Chain A
Amino acid sequence: MKRFYTPQEVARLLGVSPTTVMSRIHEGALPAVRVSERIYRIPIPAFERFVSTAPRPAINVRHRRVQRVRKLGERIAGAADELITA
């Protein structure tokens, strides 16, 4: 299953030129990942979020006092166990 669009595909979808798409990427307006020096890919979920008119949720950060912060890596160890036993 394809997970990305190329800048050319996005240009077709938006009805603009590939140059315009690249400009939006370089401006940081259109999320993209750079997979090599000249190749960019636009994750499809990022593109859908980019064109969506739905209001963006507020992202707040909470603070909590704990006795001791947990060790890193616990979540991933659990995920590995889950997939190995699946």
Chain B
Amino acid sequence: MIRGIQGVDQYVSGLAKALYTQGFDLPEVPTIELDEAGQLAFSIVGVIPDVDLAEVAEISLDEIWRPLPDRRWERREYTYDLVDRPRRRRRAFHLHDRDLAEAELGTVVHEHCEEIFGQPTCQHYLGRELPNGYLAIDHLVAAWVEPGPLGCAALTCLDQEPSRPASG
């Protein structure tokens, strides 16, 4: 995904509106950060309280965009996460630094799936690159509404070693 600054702006605003429309509250104003290397980054957080519990479920959409010539940027990394505290589980789609991820996992994208949050049976699952954050919202909201198991057992584990309780 490649966009100019105005396009990134509209994209971030559109993601925030999509989360709001799905019923999530936005506790923070979405902010695009620009660093000295010319990278753009943003984080959008949507929270939804459980009806009878004080805990909230949280969807966070984080992306880093690298600069290209002509004042354009390309999405380089993303983490799209659902942390469902009331149900104590997690679902996520990640694309980290391409070179590093490929060297460590043999693939640039991976997924996280924890039927019990903090106790993954696999650290990294095989995933496919999501073309944009809108699709991530669809997947994560679908996981949020799902009353049954997330279906982690049906995913393909990428880990070479047995899993340990950690995250990332």
A residues with CB within 8 A of B: 1-4, 31, 33-35, 41, 43-49, 56-57, 59-70, 72-73, 75-77, 79-80, 83-84
Whether A76 and B79, one on each chain, are in contact in the complex, defined by CB atoms closer than 8 angstroms, is yes
B27 close to chain A: CB less than 8 A: no
Residue numbers in B under 8 Å from A31 (CB-CB): 21-23
Interface centre among A31, A44, A45, A65 (most CB of B within 10 A): A45
Looking at A41, A62, A73, A76, which has the most chain B CB atoms within 10 Å of its CB?
A76
Chain A residue numbers with a CB within 8 Å of B22 are: 31, 43, 45-46
- In the complex, are the beta carbons of B35 and A67 less than 8 A apart? yes
| A1-B52, A73-B79 known; A46-B23 Cβ under 8 A | yes
B13: A residues at CB distance < 8 A: 59-61
- Which of A43, A60, A72, A73 has the most chain B CB atoms closer than 10 A to its own CB? A72
Q: Mark B92-111, 1 if CB is under 8 A from A, else 0.
A: 10101000000000000000
> Roughly how many angstroms separate A48 CA and B20 CA in the complex, as a whole number?
11
Which of A1, A33, A41, A69 gathers most chain B CB within 10 Å?
A: A69
**A and B contact pairs by CB, cutoff 8 A, 20 listed:** A3-B147, A33-B142, A43-B141, A45-B23, A46-B23, A57-B20, A60-B13, A61-B9, A61-B16, A61-B32, A63-B32, A63-B34, A64-B31, A64-B33, A65-B33, A69-B64, A76-B79, A83-B83, A83-B88, A84-B117
Q: Verify if B122 is at the interface (C-beta below 8 Å from A).
A: no
Determine whether the beta carbon of A83 is less than 8 Å from that of B117: yes
Tell me the minimal C-beta distance from A33 to chain B in angstroms.
Answer: 4
**For the complex of A and B, 7 pairs with smallest distance between CB atoms:** A45-B23, A69-B41, A80-B167, A84-B118, A46-B23, A33-B142, A4-B145
